[in-house]
Amino acid sequence: MTKKEKAVKIMAILDKIYPKTPIPLKHKQNNVFSFLVAVLLSARATDVSVNKVTPALFKLADTPEKMQHVPVESIRKIIKPVGLSPTKAKNIKALSQILVKKFKGQIPSNFSDLEALPGVGHKTASVVMSQAFKVPAMPVDTHIHRLAYRWGLSNGKSVVQTERDLKKCFPKEKWNKLHLQIIFFGREYCPARNHDMHACPICSEFGRKSLLN
């Protein structure tokens, strides 16, 4: 079975299980700044931990204009539970200042400007571009990287390679939804540890030999 044939089956299964893909990170509706900050906070952290701190953070400041005036230590105290809080707090403050000074408080809707912001790497920029601006992107987190290798869609050597391989396997118009579907599936059915291949809707469909080919 080719990678593209696998991809067709995978899309069908994911669409059946997850016809809708709500964004799991809590942020203010129609507020791209709050979404950007939530995604930044989610690096090396769980969505659950991020969602516990964002309501208090955005009550304090939900725009770059407001956030630029908040002391770094005040930000750090609120976001401490997510981990890496000293660095993330500095980045949130710094990017807020840049957004006000360079972009008049607006979030840039292109990869180069987003990736130039403090604490915003390619994955974070891809999530914002795909979910906030609806630009086709395939952000690769640990779940997607792991499952792409497990399903035989990529060699697992790097997230850069995984992103390239997945973009070749799946239609461009499906990328944004697939990003969330695969994350949800990895958490619910296809975990890294204690995975029951026979109970997994996708792995059981292909079998171990087919998955690795």
Residues marked as catalytic: 123, 141
Integer Cα distance of 68 and 99 in angstroms = 9
Helix (H) or strand (E) holding 60: helix 47-60
Are 145 and 186 within 8 A, CB to CB?
no
Measured distance between the N- and C-terminal CA atoms of the chain, rounded to whole angstroms: 8
What token pair was written down for 163? 């992103």
Q: Which residues contact 173 (CB under 8 A, 6 or more apart)?
A: 136
- Give me the torsion for CA of 57, 53, 177, 172, rounded to 10°: 60
